[in-house]
Amino acid sequence: MWKWIQRQSSPKIFYQTCTSLTPWFFWPFIGFLLVGLYWALIVSPADYQQGDGYRIIFIHVPSAILSMMVYAIMAIAGGIGLIWQIKMAEVVAKVSAPIGAAFTIIALVSGAVWGKPMWGAWWVWDARLTSELILLFLYLAYISLNNAFDNPRTAAKASSILAIVGLVNLPIIHYSVKWWNTLHQGYSVGTGGLKDPDMQIALALMFVASIFLYALLVAIKAKTEVLIREQNSRWVQDEVSGASL
């Protein structure tokens, strides 16, 4: 396992791996997205209380889960780069940040759209909403700190420490509906979640599509980041020359 990790830590091998994995992420994403949307909009019945307005859950919940999952991956990758000095882990952490921030924004916006008819307000200082907003600020702080240094290694070290410290916010987001008296509904997944099997299938399909979307975007953005970092390397010059022919 360690030998495989060491091999993947080579920028050239990592670039080639991302290139080969891109279609394996793209087509499953398209497939799960189309089937998931069909199941969410056509097959799933209307909710007995919220009617068709609840269907935004199939965008909101996967985005909210991915916002936390991506942050955890970013912090872990940053920690690996910090401890074992693996540059490609730093690349994964860096390119994950804007993707995670996008998922967080989608979760907040879709939650506001859902909350307006349910609560009568676009925003309330609810425990879960507030902690999710803090997560967005953590992403933005990570991105800003990463761009504040000219040296990529220095930037990676500083931003990785921030990401690791920010992990404390994830359990707060997850358990906020249990720890505090909150307007936000309980868990949509697992016990007390969606009851109808078709709703559960639709949510699962959209969640899997979101995972493949994240993996696809990481592969694409990581390739670009590696080329920028290794632009003076011979293999990058050969790669660029071959692409231009």
Closest of 237, 210, 10 to residue 110, by C-alpha? 210
Compare 123 and 226 and report the one with higher pLDDT.
Answer: 226
Q: How confident is the model at residue 184 (pLDDT cuts 50, 70, 90)?
A: low
- pLDDT > 70 fraction of the chain, expressed in percent and rounded: 89
- Of 6-10, 13-17, 208-212, 217-221, give the lowest mean pLDDT range: 6-10
User: Could you tell me if 74 and 80 are in contact, meaning their C-beta atoms sit under 8 angstroms apart?
Assistant: no
**Residue-level pLDDT at 13:** 92
How deeply is 243 buried, as exposed, middle or buried, from its count of CB atoms within 10 A (0-12, 13-18, 19+)? Answer: exposed
Does 141 have pLDDT greater than 90?
yes
* pTM of the full structure: 0.93
Of the two residues 82 and 118, the one the predictor is more confident about is 82
47 φ, ψ to 5°?
Answer: -75, 145
Number of residues that make up the chain: 245
Burial 10-24 (b: 16+ CB within 10 A, else e): ebeebbebbeeeeee
* Lowest mean per-residue pLDDT among 7-11, 92-96, 152-156, 216-220: 7-11
Which candidate, 69, 13, 62, 81, places its Cα nearest to that of 230? 13
- Rounded to whole angstroms, the maximal C-alpha distance in the chain is 63
pLDDT band at 5 (very low <50, low <70, confident <90, very high): low
